[in-house]
Homo-oligomer: A and B are copies of this chain.
């Protein structure tokens, strides 16, 4: 139930149309809460319906193909403010690569090391991107309260990427070690075949 709140936040930072929101998500909020333009349009409709936001009045009638800007109404702002301090448990991680490592324990590590190396590269690139943003937006001393909070969020992204780099490197080393040892991958296939 967080997408509507993400949208409210973005709209408060700057009133926008659906497509503008989509673009801003792609290079900012989307780093930790991604959304497609479809989701965004749908949610904008619901938020308007619920009276949390409204479309800025426009002289024209047709809605198709016409830019439609939204702004947050007091009810929306209040809901967002309440959500910020609400009790809500963190959700456990959901990571397919960890699952794949576990699976490799029973069916062999064929192809996994290459995949781990690829992920290492991707995370390195992501980290570089975050660092560039940090340099650009928070290079000098601290700014407003909002700036400090946004910097904090970015630090989470940076620290997370650093965690991944460290762990993936360890995984890569471990897999390489296994690969050069006795050929286990083939041995693993020793489960009982089901009777016909």
Contact = CB atoms under 8 A, between A and B. Distances in A.
A84, A148, A152, A174 — most chain B CB neighbours (10 Å): A84
A133 interface: no
A107 B92 contact: no
A84 B104 contact: yes
Nearest to A31: B92
A100 B81 contact: no
Copies in the assembly, this chain? 2
Contacts of A71: 194
Interface of A: 2, 5-6, 8-9, 12-13, 29-34, 54, 71-74, 77, 80-81, 83-112, 114-115, 118-119, 122-123, 145-150, 152-153, 155-157, 159-160, 163-164, 166-167, 170-171, 174, 178, 184, 188-189, 191, 193-194
B102 A85 contact: no
Give the interface SS of chain A, mostly helix, strand, loop or mixed.
helix
Nearest to A97: B90
Contacts of A2: 94, 96, 99
B95 A83 contact: no
Contacts of A88: 96, 115
B92 A34 contact: yes
Given A2-B99, A88-B96, A104-B149, 4 more contacts: A12-B191, A84-B110, A155-B170, A160-B163
Given A54-B194, A171-B152, A103 B8 contact: yes
A81 B191 CA distance: 13
Contacts of A104: 84, 149
